[in-house]
Amino acid sequence: MPAPGTPLEQLGFLTIGTFDPADPGPGHEATLQLVELGERLGLDSAWVRHRHLQPGISSPVAVLAAATQRTRRIQLGTAVTPLGWENPLRLAEDLATVDVLSGGRLDPGVSVGPPMHWDDVKTAPYPDTADAEDFSYERALRLLRLVRGERASTFSGREGVVEEWTERVQPHSPGLAGRLWYGGGSLRSARWAGEHGLNLLTSSVVRAEESEDFAEVQRSHVRAFRAAHPAGDAARASQGLVVIPTDGATPAQRAKYEACVATRTPRTASPQGPARTLFARDLLGTCEEVAQALYAHAGFEEVTEVVFALPFSFEPEDCVQILTDVAEQLGPLLGWRPATGG
């Protein structure tokens, strides 16, 4: 048994929400059912990745809107929404609407930078303004200001008989700004998130800046974030890793998981490419083995919240087995207790 440390307070999961492009309905339904399962198991949060022009959830805010009507307790997050694709004002409206529908359970995670494959896609979202768009941190600050309820228009009041206008985004959800997360993969991003009072989602993909040891890099990000955050050590940071427990897996599933991890492990050996991208190693094994690996992980030592990612290529039944093992066996080994009231 691993030596117990500070009890894990928040345990969530992340899915890409894959589907068949020729028949996308079942895949979206499977994602919603996974969120429902997470609530029944007592998990604290369910997060959806954002994927454009791929067979993965392209509109997590819409999917989470549906999830608000099928759940009552579990927090619902995006990890993460790349703001290069978004109009901050329109996104602020969507996020606030879903937060109201959920009763204050939305945890939006965002990041900045130009969309992936920018030269190939830029004329689709920005046919006339691609070269003028600002993809810096200012784009995230625009969203933050709008979510906080700062002025979006210089006009307010009644127009005509029934038209009522306000200066700020509607609806306004007062607690939403405090639940905005930034997905950072560098020391600069971690510090920036802290300086601006956001929460931090650590990534399973980081830049090898001060070290080539992934766990050390992840720890340095959490520490830099909290050092810059007004709340200091109380600032919320969540660790992200791929965790695959095998206790409840069939022999065929175990073989499948091992083959998947084997194909992904070589890239974790050293930084990749000019950006020196460092990938986290997947944690595969029994719940006891995974717990031992986590307790030895420098990044895990810094947090009391985690969001474990489900591998992209797994089938719904695989995800059910993994989540069940995480909630019923791994979580308790980490000192976590399932939430109630779902």
CATH code of residue 81: 3.20.20.30
Round to whole Å and give the CA distance between 105 and 289.
32
Q: Determine the pLDDT at residue 3.
A: 57
CB 107 within 8 A of CB 44: no
Whether residue 329 is predicted with pLDDT greater than 50 in this model: the reply is yes
Domain that holds residue 96: 10-153+165-333
Round to whole Å and give the CA distance between 305 and 201.
10
H/E element holding 80? strand 75-82
Whether residue 176 is predicted with pLDDT greater than 50 in this model: the reply is yes
The structural domain count of the chain equals 1
Report yes or no on 160 lying in a domain. Answer: no
Q: Determine the pLDDT at residue 272.
A: 95
Instruction: Report pLDDT digits (tens) over 79-94.
Output: 999 999 999 999 999 9
Q: Could you tell me which of 222, 306, 307 has the C-alpha nearest to residue 6?
A: 306
Q: Give Cα 303 distance to the centre of its chain.
A: 15
Which whole number is the average pLDDT over 32-59?
97
Report yes or no on 340 lying in a domain. Answer: no
For the beta carbon of residue 205, count every other beta carbon within 10 angstroms.
14
Whether residue 2 is predicted with pLDDT greater than 70 in this model: the reply is no
Q: How many CA atoms lie within 13 A of 120 on its CB side?
A: 5
Report yes or no on 61 lying in a domain. Answer: yes
Report residue 51: phi and psi, to 5°. -130, 120
User: Which pair of tokens denotes residue 86?
Assistant: 């978004």
The three-state secondary structure class of 123 is coil
Handedness of CA 285, 201, 235, 199 (dihedral sign): negative
Report yes or no on 4 lying in a domain. Answer: no
Q: How does strand 305-309 pair with strand 10-15?
A: parallel
Report yes or no on 114 lying in a domain. Answer: yes
CB 280 within 8 A of CB 239: no
Report residue 210: phi and psi, to 5°. -100, -10
Q: Determine the pLDDT at residue 1.
A: 45
Beta bridge partners of 216: none
Contacts of 325 (CB under 8 A, 6+ apart): 245, 246, 247, 248, 249, 287
Report yes or no on 326 lying in a domain. Answer: yes
- What is the percentage of the chain residues whose pLDDT exceeds 90? 95
